[in-house]
């Protein structure tokens, strides 16, 4: 799983998929399975497999509904697909769980603080998740 996450964060979603799928297959009862589904979903979203990404993000949310970032990521994917009402509801849930992340700028700053500042990863975020979350009305600042 860690290798798959590193590949994803380096902006190599295609390479990440096999590693994350293997991790899920080897440990389907992992207590942190929501993160595994998030990584797999993000890889698919970055590759343009939006419907699959949304399905996986819903699995991640079902595994752990208290993860604010899964709700926000799902909001971005839904907004990217054009499901704006559902995207707004997910963004609202994320903000309820983590009120200080109330804009794209605050969300982006959190990525950089946690070391997710890789240029390729950030570019993929801009082309997918951030477009979707903006479509849903999530503020830039």
Domain ranges, ordered by start, for the chain: 2-135
Give the mean model confidence (pLDDT) for residues 5-16.
94
Distance CA 64, CA 70 (A): 9
Give the mean model confidence (pLDDT) for residues 104-117.
78
More confident residue, 79 or 107: 79
Pick the CATH number of 2-135 from 1.10.3470.10, 3.20.20.150, 1.25.40.10, 3.40.50.720: 1.25.40.10
User: Picking from 2-16, 23-37, 61-75, 97-111, which range would have the lowest pLDDT averaged per residue?
Assistant: 97-111
Q: Length of the chain, please?
A: 141
Give the mean model confidence (pLDDT) for residues 73-98.
97
pLDDT tops 70 at residue 42: yes
- Return the pLDDT at 110: 80
pLDDT tops 80 at residue 115: no
For 115, phi then psi, to 5°, come to 85, 15
Distance CA 32, CA 62 (A): 12
Task: Work out the pLDDT band at 112, boundaries 50, 70, 90.
Answer: low
Residues 49, 55, 60, 62, Cα dihedral to 10°: 170
């Amino acid at each position: 799983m860690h290798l798959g996450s590193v590949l994803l964060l380096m902006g190599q979603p295609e390479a990440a998929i096999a590693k994350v799928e293997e991790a899920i297959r080897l440990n389907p009862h992992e207590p942190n399975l929501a993160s595994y589904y998030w990584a797999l979903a993000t890889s698919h979203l970055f590759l343009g497999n939006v419907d699959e990404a949304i399905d996986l993000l819903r699995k991640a949310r079902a595994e752990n509904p208290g993860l604010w970032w899964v709700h926000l990521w799902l909001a971005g994917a839904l907004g990217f697909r054009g499901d704006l009402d559902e995207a707004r509801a997910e963004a609202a849930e994320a903000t309820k769980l983590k009120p200080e992340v109330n804009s794209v700028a605050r969300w982006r700053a959190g990525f950089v603080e946690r070391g997710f500042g890789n240029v390729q990863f950030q570019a993929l975020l801009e082309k997918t998740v951030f477009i979707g979350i903006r479509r849903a009305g999530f503020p830039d600042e």
